Amino acid sequence: MTRILFVCLGNICRSPTLEAVARVEFARAGLAVAVDSAGTADYHAGQPPDRRSIAAGAAHGYDLSALRARQIVAADFTRFDRILAADRANLRDLAALRGGRGTQPALFLPDAEVPDPYYGGPADFERVIELARTGMAALIAELRGGPR
């Protein structure tokens, strides 16, 4: 089974949204993929996702309510086959944390970033859902043996 970790800064907006969307979309696609999410920082460890992320996800059929924030740990670099960062800043942080061992992180969207909606409004959280769906469709195609 493929194991994928989605990562953002605090693990309360983007990465838990990516995790929830991945769970649903991989199941719909009939793919056996284990997913999780984490943050590069420990600001919100143990807390649920941002209420606005939960609301945006629920509006589209993605349940984030049971998720809890956690910080990435060294073991994640060997536990996961893919580690996908929401943006370039977190990708740089992941590369430093990796220290040359285990899975090399990459961007979730190869040519773009998932912008942090934390200081934005509802449209920003909707944009994260849209980008999550787009990126997940490409990831599903890749996991089925096609180009990403």
Residue 58 has pLDDT above 80, yes or no: yes
Task: For residues 25-40, give the mean pLDDT.
Answer: 97
Q: 131-145 burial string, b = 16+ CB within 10 Å, else e?
A: bbeebbebbbeebee
Residue 110 has pLDDT above 70, yes or no: yes
User: What is the identity of the amino acid at 2?
Assistant: T
User: What is the identity of the amino acid at 29?
Assistant: A
Q: Report the pLDDT value the prediction gives residue 147, as an integer from 0 to 100.
A: 66
Torsion of CA 95, 51, 27, 102, to 10 degrees: 10
Q: Report the pLDDT value the prediction gives residue 76, as an integer from 0 to 100.
A: 98
Task: For residues 105-125, give the mean pLDDT.
Answer: 97
Task: For residues 136-146, give the mean pLDDT.
Answer: 92
Angstrom distance (rounded) from CA 54 to CA 87: 21
Active site residues: 8, 14, 116
Are the beta carbons of 53 and 17 closer than 8 angstroms?
yes
Confidence bin at 66 (pLDDT 50/70/90): very high
Confidence bin at 148 (pLDDT 50/70/90): low
**Whole-number average pLDDT of the chain:** 96
Q: Report the pLDDT value the prediction gives residue 22, as an integer from 0 to 100.
A: 98
Q: Report the pLDDT value the prediction gives residue 20, as an integer from 0 to 100.
A: 98
Q: Report the pLDDT value the prediction gives residue 18, as an integer from 0 to 100.
A: 98
Angstrom distance (rounded) from CA 81 to CA 34: 10
Angstrom distance (rounded) from CA 40 to CA 80: 15
Name, in order, each residue with C-beta under 8 angstroms of 105's C-beta and a sequence gap of 6 or more: 7, 83, 84, 85, 91, 94, 95, 98
Angstrom distance (rounded) from CA 8 to CA 38: 7
Backbone angles phi, psi at 26, to 5 degrees: -65, -40
Residue 73 has pLDDT above 90, yes or no: yes
CATH topology for 2-143 is Rossmann fold (3.40.50)
Sketch the domain layout of the chain as residue ranges. Answer: 2-143
Radius of gyration of the chain (CA): 14
Q: Write out pLDDT tens, residues 11-24.
A: 999 999 999 999 99
